[in-house]
Structure 1
Amino acid sequence: MCSTLNSKFTSEVGTSHNLDQYNQHFLAQKIFDKPDFNGDFSNTMVSWAQFNKEVLPGRQFTFWQWFEGVMELTKKHLKVYWSDGLIFGFIGKQHLHLILKEMPNGTFLLRFSDSEIGGITIAYVSAGEKNFNIQPFTKRDLEIRCLGDRIRDINNITHLYPDFPKHDVFKKYYTGNSLYTQNPQAPSNTGYIPVSLQTKVET
């Protein structure tokens, strides 16, 4: 199943960047509802009901509906980020806590929301070595403002896991003017000064 999901994901998104072993293990944990199980799932059978009939525990959607939503979001709005290896992707909160707990403040990674169809969230380390997850960005959010610009906006995050300065790895995705580029806004040919939206995280 993991091999098939990987083939479907890369084909649908149009990328050569595969789902890695951590992504695949998380998918198995999710479909079998075993978030704490770190063993081998390779000989465990998946039923059609588990795949696309029964809703996931505590959710209103099936495994396939959720996975399809992630593919659609990635295809339309995140392909370049995924292909460049900037999105960690499928990761459980327990694993997330383990890899971020020793990291300095401002370290962040991008993961697909496991509670919402077609959402990507930013998990980051803040004061007191606490992990926070920003409300997921959906297709509608990313149509309004792209992921690169949203990452640029958020001062709480400084280094993509494990230690890449965010402006070094994301600056090619930035659009328009910002506090980071410090370019003054000049009036357009209409005579009006342009305005733009900015992402703000409430702390």
Structure 2
Amino acid sequence: MWVVKIGGSLSHDPALREWLTQLWEVGGGRVVIVPGGGDFADAVRQYQIEWRFDDLAAHNMCLLAMAQYAILMQGVLPELVLASSEERIRGALRDGQVAVWVPTGLMRVTPDSTTNWDTTSDSLAAMLSTTLNAERLMVVKSCPVDASAPLETLAASGVIDARFVSHVKDANYVVELFSKDDIGLMRDRLLNVPVV
């Protein structure tokens, strides 16, 4: 099983349709897509500045932002299956489908280590990868990504979130970062890596 996190920054980019289509064509039964927050989450930041509510409320709103992006993805490609739990994700994969995670189950009533702006959909994708015992986590960004750069460097420059490195430090899955233009590389990975 592979987790593919698609950045919210692709939500207005024509490349989004191509990514979703390619993942659906070659990733059925193997791929879980994690949506970013995109401008849905940017709106949460603006509301927090305006109304000065706490990070717990912002966290819950950002999970709903991710859910909106997930629904947008399914709107673009109706064959994708929305899945809000591990059971539903695994069921979609058993049926040979591609699942899109709707992370509303992570909403909190009290603050914890995830209810802050240092933990974004990047880290949540890493946490899901651990939960699902994934073989690979692919993180897709709209900006150019130096695949040879250390994750710490990418975190320091804001390409990935500040907590991502700690979540994948001892991971038993492969972590790869992709630019939006790396669709062919992703397709090659899915077609050439044997299913375990």
Give the structure-1-normalised TM-score.
0.27
**Larger radius of gyration between Structure 1 and Structure 2:** 1
**Higher RCO, Cα 8 Å, sep 6+:** 2
TM-score, normalization by structure 2: 0.28
